[in-house]
A = this chain, B = another copy of it.
Amino acid sequence: MSAIRLLVLGAVRQHGRAHGYQVRNDLEYWGAHEWSNAKPGSIYHALKQLAKQGLMRAHDIAPSPAGGPPRTEYELTEAGTQEYFALLRASLSQHDRKVDELSAAIGFLVDLPREEAVALLKERVRGLEEWRLSVTEYYTPADGPEQLGHIGEIMNMWVHAADGGAEWTRGLIERIEGGAYVFAGEGEPFVGVLAEGQVNPYATGEADPEYGD
């Protein structure tokens, strides 16, 4: 559940204090329901879990002003902030994680200082190159790759994915080094959450590629 974890931690952190529905809305705003398992059930589960693990503080709040059942607001603890950054760094630098985790991490990329973001992404590229090498070596039987028959196509797909991933990452590094976006400590931070009452311009409720996961 690291992707959900990262998303929920990041969303609550940006609000300072948020309830489940707010988080759910942010994630939809980010398109997260399309590339991750960010369904209501999972979000509420994650919030409870994180609270149980001491990463969030829960505050019971009176019934909402606009109808619905009474709601609970959450707030990161110090440990929660630590966990957030640890997860963010790991998701960016380690290639052997699910795609939804990377997507989430890209969304929070600017919470880090610029140089650190670049360093982590370079680490990712290194990992991808290493992995590519290990796949081609490990899965080449002693008696030649023909032994594998069409099974070799699976490895070929991995290699292709590794190359594509590395290429994309290099492009991103270039843009960041070129001065794109506003990172931590560089002034007015990027506003990535919906204010109370603001409508989500991207909420359509359709189109569900669910690529990767």
Which A residues form the contact surface with B (CB < 8 A)? 30-31, 35, 95-99, 102-103, 106-107, 109-110, 131, 134-135, 138-139, 141, 149-151, 153-158, 160-161, 163-164, 167-168, 172, 175, 180-182, 190, 192, 201-202, 207-213
A107→B154 contact, CB < 8 A: yes
Complex Cα–Cα for A26 and B98 (A): 24
CB-contact partner of A209 in B131, B164, B190, under 8 A: B131
- A208 surroundings in chain B (CB, below 8 A): 96
A-B contact pairs, 17 of them (CB 8 A): A30-B151, A31-B139, A97-B210, A98-B210, A99-B161, A99-B213, A107-B151, A109-B150, A110-B149, A110-B150, A138-B207, A149-B192, A150-B190, A158-B209, A161-B164, A161-B168, A161-B212
Give chain B nearest CB distance to A111 CB in angstroms. 10
Count of chain copies: 2
* CB nearest to A135 among chain B residues: B209
B213→A98 contact, CB < 8 A: yes
A168→B158 contact, CB < 8 A: no
Complex Cα–Cα for A179 and B120 (A): 43
Give chain B nearest CB distance to A26 CB in angstroms. 12
For the residues of A in contact with B, the DSSP-based class is helix
- A154 surroundings in chain B (CB, below 8 A): 30-31, 35, 103, 106-107
CB-contact partner of A168 in B134, B151, B156, B175, under 8 A: B156
CB-contact partner of A134 in B102, B156, B190, B207, under 8 A: B207
- A110 surroundings in chain B (CB, below 8 A): 149-150
18 extra interface residue pairs, beta carbon distance < 8 Å, beyond A95-B211, A98-B212: A30-B154, A31-B154, A35-B154, A35-B158, A99-B161, A99-B213, A103-B154, A103-B157, A106-B154, A107-B150, A131-B209, A149-B181, A149-B182, A160-B164, A161-B211, A163-B164, A164-B164, A213-B213
CB-contact partner of A157 in B97, B102, B134, under 8 A: B102
CB-contact partner of A106 in B96, B109, B150, under 8 A: B150
